[in-house]
Amino acid sequence: KKVADRYLKREKLGEGTYGVVYKAIDTKTGQVVAIKKIRIGKQKEGVNFTALREIKLLKELKDPNIIELIDAFPHKGNLHLVFEFMETDLEAVIRDPNIFLSPADIKSYLQMTLKGLIVCHNKWVLHRDMKPNNLLIGSNGQLKLADFGLARIFGSPERRFTPQVFASWYRAPELLYGAKQYGPAVDVWAAGCIFAELLLRRPFLQGSSDIDQLGKIFAAFGTPTSSQWSDLVCLPDYVEYQYVPAPPLRSLFPMASDDTLDLLSKMFTYDPKSRISAQQALEHRYFTSAPLPTNPDKLPRPA
C-alpha cells in the first residue's frame, strides 16, 4: 500500500529519537527514501503549524553535506518526513574493527561535518543533537548531517521517544550548565567530540548523566576558571566544583599531530563566545597541511 499515494513502504530501518524510520520507494522518481514517522499525538489544534513552517525552512536547506528533506506531510496522526536513503552512518564506521581510519580519512570526515554545519549555521539553524549516528554516509562516501533543526521543532532530546543514556556525551558545557540562550557553538563542541571519537575509536567523554558528563569534561580539560569563561557564574545550574587541573591534551591523544591538537583545543574552548566557529575550524591549518583529506569516494566503509 502506498503512503500519500506516492511512497511504497518497505522494511523498518529502526527506531530513533522521534519515531520509527522506514525504507520506501518514491514511485514518482524511483528513488529509495527513508521515511521518518513522527508522532504528533493528539494535539487539539491538529497539526502544529509552527512545526510545519519550520519544516518548510529545512526543505530549503540544500547542500551536499546535509541530508535532503524531500517531502513532509501529515498522515494518520503522524508527521511523515521523507529523506534521501543513506547506506550507513559514521557510528558504524567508527565501531567497525575491520576499518582502519588514516589521519587523512579522519580529516575528510571532519571536513564534511564542518561544511554541513556551516551551511546550517549561516541560516541560523542549530542541530543541537550532533552525534556519530546522525552523520549519515551515502554510497559515494559523502557524509551528510541528518536530523538538522528537529530538536528545536519537536523538543529537545531529553524528552526522547526512546531513552538514550549516551545523550549527553556530545553536549556542550553551557547546555550542561542549563544555559537558556546558546548558539552554534553547541554544535562545534559536539563536532569536537566526534573528531576526538574518530581519533580514539571510542566515545571521548562518556558521562552517565549530565552531572557526570561535566565531571568527565573537567577531568579532560580542567575545571573552567572565571578568566577562561566569565559568564559561567551566571548560568542557571552553576555550582562551584573543586579545582581540577587540566592534563596536557597530548596525554589524551598521544598519536595526534600538533595541528590536530591545536584544532581540538579550539573546538573544546569552554567559553562559547571564544570557541572556534565551524567556519574558522574549516579554515584551520589542519585542513591544508599534509596529509590532505581523503577523497570521499575513497573512504573506507563497512562491508
- Is-contact 293 139, C-beta < 8 A? no
Give 17 or 294: the residue with its C-beta nearer to ligand ADP.
Answer: 17
Q: How many CB atoms lie within 10 A of CB 35?
A: 26
Q: Which DSSP symbol is given to 18? A: S
Any contact of residue 130 with ligand ADP (CB under 6 A)? no
Binding residue for ligand ADP (CB under 6 A) from 24, 69, 70, 83? Answer: 83
Q: Is 63 a catalytic residue?
A: no
Residue at 222: amino acid letter = G
Instruction: Find the shortest distance in angstroms from Cβ 59 to ligand ADP.
Output: 15
Q: What is the dihedral of CA 278, 206, 131, 82, to 10 degrees?
A: -160
Tell me if residue 292 falls in helix, strand or coil: coil
- Long-range CB contacts for residues 296-300, cutoff 8 Å, separation at least 24: 296/108, 296/112, 296/140, 296/141, 296/142, 296/143, 297/140, 297/141, 298/141, 299/105, 299/108, 299/109, 299/137, 299/141, 300/93, 300/99, 300/100, 300/101, 300/105
Instruction: Find the shortest distance in angstroms from Cβ 93 to ligand ADP.
Output: 12
Nearest-angstrom CA–CA distance, 285 and 114: 14
Any contact of residue 126 with ligand ADP (CB under 6 A)? no
Any contact of residue 34 with ligand ADP (CB under 6 A)? yes
Instruction: Find the shortest distance in angstroms from Cβ 189 to ligand ADP.
Output: 18
Q: What is the number of the residue whose Cβ is closest to ligand ADP?
A: 16
Instruction: Find the shortest distance in angstroms from Cβ 21 to ligand ADP.
Output: 3
C-alpha cell at 159: 524528552
Instruction: Find the shortest distance in angstroms from Cβ 186 to ligand ADP.
Output: 17
C-alpha cell at 191: 563536532
- Is-contact 129 101, C-beta < 8 A? no
- 19 marked ligand binding residue: yes
- Is-contact 91 131, C-beta < 8 A? yes
Stretch that binds ligand ADP, among 51-59, 80-88, 180-188, 228-236 (CB under 6 A): 80-88
Binding residue for ligand ADP (CB under 6 A) from 89, 105, 174, 187? Answer: 89
Q: How far apart are the first and last CA of the chain?
A: 32
Give 149 or 272: the residue with its C-beta nearer to ligand ADP.
Answer: 149
C-alpha cell at 25: 520507494
Any contact of residue 146 with ligand ADP (CB under 6 A)? yes
Any contact of residue 14 with ligand ADP (CB under 6 A)? yes
- 13 marked ligand binding residue: yes
Options 89, 105, 129, 187, the catalytic residue: 129
Any contact of residue 17 with ligand ADP (CB under 6 A)? yes
Binding residue for ligand ADP (CB under 6 A) from 133, 228, 257, 279? Answer: 133
Binding residues for ligand ADP, per CB under 6 A? 13-18, 21, 34, 36, 67, 83, 85-86, 89, 133-134, 136, 146-147
**Which residues form the catalytic set?**
129
Q: Which residues are annotated as a binding site for ATP?
A: 13-21, 36, 42
Q: Which residues are annotated as a binding site?
A: 13-21, 36, 42
